[in-house]
Amino acid sequence: MRILIALGGNALISEKAERTYEAQYKVANEAMAKLYDVLQNNEVVLTHGNGPQVGDILLRNEQPVDGIPSMPLHACGSMSQGLISEILIDAYGSLSRNGKQMISVFSRALVSSDDKAFHSPSKPIGRFYPKEEADYLAKKYGWSLKNTSNGTWRRVVPSPMPQKIMEEEAVKKLLDSGFIPISAGGGGTPVVKNGNRIEGVEAVIDKDLASSVLAHGIGCSNLVILTDVEGAYRNYGTHDSERIGKIKVSEVEELYRKGEFGSGSMGPKILASTEFIRGGGKLAVISSLNNAGKAVSGGSGTVIIPG
């Protein structure tokens, strides 16, 4: 089977864990042990989140250092791709004696400059600022900042829909050749067409939505989104809460429209899954990393099928 596996943050770092290189290596190494057989026995492309890593890079980047210009957000995302590539390959490599080789391709996610997200930036990133500094930054850099619950302000950036992973042909070629490609790290570096140039843009890309378009682009039959919960729930947070098992795409779309999954983490996972199935995919699974082995063929988690 040709499968795209999207690794959630918990495959790289536990929520409150220290974020040293070695700590991240250990978490990734445990994740890779759980995935090892799946990686050997299928054609797998890996994608991954980058929240904590790009957050750290960004905080360092916002700290003034004499003579060193700050890099734009999209370039910080590119740096996080390099960092996480090393961690994942290091973590996988120590388990693999004669297994397939993992290869990371620097990846960009094409978005439309007309995407409505550019008119309503919503994703908070970077530091918390007092009001005066927030006003100054808004004026100086043209940033959008929003009041947070504790009276401080934070930069918000758009999260546009990825249309395509620009590197999909190369990823496909590597997959065809027996490698385990890593692509669309952190959703991919967001780029827009601007005349002849396809240039970075100040935005973040949801990694599950990016995974869905990549999975479609390279002809995967299965999209497997691994996270820290067992799947999606109906009536989440009420006493009628019930995990969804196998479900038709039309039914889950109906639940999505009713706002059943929220706009936080699960909403984009559901949207990524339904888009994948509507684009011709056979199986979309949202499952925990611990059950990865069963999840890849729909034996665990929330399993969305055509129909």
Catalogue the active-site residues.
9-10, 123, 207, 269
- Would you say 198 or 299 has its CB closer to a second copy? 198
State the minimum distance, in angstroms, from the CB of residue 130 to a second copy. 16
**What is the enclosing helix (H) or strand (E) of 303?**
strand 302-305
Minimal distance, residue 29 CB to a second copy, in Å: 9
User: At its nearest, how many Å lie between a second copy and the CB of residue 189?
Assistant: 6
Phi, psi dihedrals of residue 263, rounded to the nearest 5°: -105, 0
Q: Given the complex with a second copy, which of 47 and 61 has the nearer CB atom?
A: 61
- Work out how close the CB of 195 gets to a second copy at its nearest, in angstroms, rounded to a whole number: 8
How far, rounded to the nearest angstrom, does the alpha carbon of residue 260 sit from its chain's CA centroid?
21
What is the C-alpha to C-alpha distance for residues 157 and 169, in angstroms, rounded to an integer? 29
Contact set with a second copy (CB under 8 A): 18-21, 56-57, 59-61, 63, 65, 68-69, 71-72, 74-75, 78-83, 85-87, 89-90, 93-95, 97, 101, 103-106, 108, 167, 169-170, 173-174, 177, 179, 182, 189, 191, 196-200
Integer Cα distance of 252 and 55 in angstroms: 32
Q: Report the phi/psi class of residue 303: left, alpha or beta, with left for phi > 0 and alpha for psi in -120 to 50.
A: beta
Encoding tokens for residue 49?
């989140």
Minimum CB distance to a second copy smaller for 78 or for 222: 78
Chain position carrying tokens 């799946």: 38
Distance CA 124, CA 10 (A): 20
Measure the CA dihedral 182/190/232/104, to 10°: 0
Of the two residues 97 and 140, which places its CB atom closer to a second copy in the complex?
97
Question: Which residue's CB is nearer to a second copy, number 51 or number 267?
Answer: 51
Burial of 7 per CB tally in 10 Å (0-12, 13-18, 19+): buried
Q: How far apart are CB 199 and a second copy at their closest, in Å? A: 6
Judged by CB, which is closer to a second copy: 149, or 196? 196
DSSP-derived secondary structure letter, 71 = P
- Could you tell me the two tokens for 229? 């919960």
CB of 174 to a second copy, least distance (A): 6
CA distance 243 to 99: 35
Name the strand (E) or helix (H) holding 43.
Answer: strand 43-48
